[in-house]
Amino acid sequence: ETLTLVQAGRDHVWSCASCHGAAGEGTATTPRLAGQLSDYLLKQLVDFRDGTRDNAHMIYVAKALDEDEMHELANYYAQIRLPSRVGPRLDGDLERGRQITHEGDWKRNVPACVQCHGSGAEGVEPSFPVLAGQQPEYTFSQLAQWHAGARGNSPQQLMDKISQAMTPEDMRAVADYLATL
Ligand code: HEM
Ligand code: HEM
């Protein structure tokens, strides 16, 4: 059942793999799902279904899934192990990205990402997602969405506040650095 949804979707209208890649590795326009925390993946599917996170493709997909399928898909993608290090592609300043990730920039009210996302940005169960090895275009796009108030599902608006303290150059830098991990 899970593999059918991943590969052929429902009635062959869509499949996860058609957008997220055969192994959930993601692309320049979709996130990597492989190795992400299963509780986090599940929360995102529920948020798309309930309309607390916006994306035309994912709302359509999530509304077609029942709770059991969401659990199965979240568990399925969470257990896939892929080589990390997709590599930087945004021409970001990697030294600046390293600094934001590990130390933050307190003059600008930007905390270190590793405080919540784990010392290597490998994620912390159950709520702090893996950032290491994510597609850099996707990481940048999420920070930009929060910065603009267009992604509304972060608990306590944590990521809204952090992203609003960042410049576009900082977002590019951190997205590219995280893609090197
Ligand atoms: C995002 C799962 C099918 C396009 C996501 C996210 C999850 C997910 C969990 C959020 C990831 C994160 O927050 O890191 C799935 C599953 C699918 C599926 C389980 C199959 C059942 C599709 C399809 C498309 C698609 C068919 C394209 C038509 C996207 C895009 C995003 C996304 C563009 C990023 C949304 C944004 O920028 O906020 N998907 N997906 N997905 N998915 Fe899917
Ligand atoms: C989610 C980046 C610092 C808490 C995310 C996501 C990104 C991100 C890109 C979305 C992941 C995805 O869609 O797959 C960053 C960066 C940081 C940072 C670059 C440092 C500048 C923090 C800190 C906290 C935090 C310090 C805690 C105080 C969270 C939480 C989520 C999240 C709870 C999940 C939101 C949800 O459930 O939708 N972060 N983060 N982050 N971050 Fe951060």
Residue 96 has pLDDT above 90, yes or no: yes
Residue 116 has pLDDT above 80, yes or no: yes
Q: Which atom of ligand 1 lies at the shortest distance from residue 62's CA?
A: 21
CA separation, residue 104 to residues 8, 98, 120, 128, 160 (Å): 43, 9, 14, 17, 16
Q: Which atom of ligand 1 lies at the shortest distance from residue 36's CA?
A: 14
> Which among 113, 123, 119 has a CA at the least distance from the CA of 36?
123
Q: Which atom of ligand 1 lies at the shortest distance from residue 129's CA?
A: 14
Counting ligands in written order, which one lies closest to the CA of residue 26?
1
- Structural domains for the chain: 2-78 (1.10.760.10), 94-179 (1.10.760.10)
Summarize pLDDT for 4-27 with one digit per residue, the tens.
Answer: 999 988 877 889 999 999 999 999
Q: What percentage of the chain exceeds 70 in pLDDT?
A: 100
Tell which one of 114, 117, 171, 172 to mutate to probe ligand 2, the residue whose CB is within 8 A of the most ligand atoms: 117
Rounded-to-integer distance, Cα 132 and Cα 109, Å: 22
Summarize pLDDT for 31-75 with one digit per residue, the tens.
Answer: 999 999 999 999 999 999 999 999 999 999 999 999 999 999 999
Task: Report pLDDT for 40.
Answer: 98
Give the length of the chain: 181
Rounded-to-integer distance, Cα 58 and Cα 30, Å: 11
Predicted ipTM? Answer: 0.98
110 lines ligand 2 (CB under 6 A): yes
On average, the pLDDT of the chain sits at: 95
**Contact by Cβ (8 Å): 170, 96:** yes
pLDDT bracket for residue 82 (50, 70, 90) = confident
